[in-house]
Amino acid sequence: MTSGLWGYGNAEGYTPGTDLTGYRVEAEDGHIGKVDRHTAEVDSAHIVVDTGPWIFGREVLLPAGTIRRVDSGERTVWVNRTKDEVKNSPEYVRERHTDDPDYQRTIGSYYGGIY
């Protein structure tokens, strides 16, 4: 498990191997959706959040380093970002995902700049 923006190292309560799919996601100022997908891949760990009706039809990619806390009992993930920060994030492009170094840099620059 790595730390930093692309690792779960700073996420309180995260246990390696835990499947976060379906967990509720809470920003610092309220509910933003549920985890649609997640990965714990070294140096590209992240979750993809389905924002549901909050930002209709939009998914967002959040690097694992934005996760502040995980509660498996409540099936909830808390991120250290506001709803506006998430809403204004770069578009999630499923086809580019994090296999594209330029896309990963774009996401990393956005979240790293407000980290």
pLDDT at 56: 73
User: What pLDDT is attached to residue 113?
Assistant: 64
Q: Is the pLDDT of residue 115 over 50?
A: no
Q: Where are the domains of the chain?
A: 24-113
Tens-place pLDDT, residues 38-66:
999 888 899 999 998 877 778 999 999 99
Question: What's the CA gap between 65 and 62, in Å, rounded?
Answer: 8
24-113 to CATH, choices 2.30.29, 3.40.50, 2.60.40, 2.30.30? 2.30.30
Provide the pLDDT for residue 98: 60
| Segment 73-94, tens digit of pLDDT | 999 999 999 999 999 999 888 8
Tokens 């191997």: give the residue.
Answer: 17
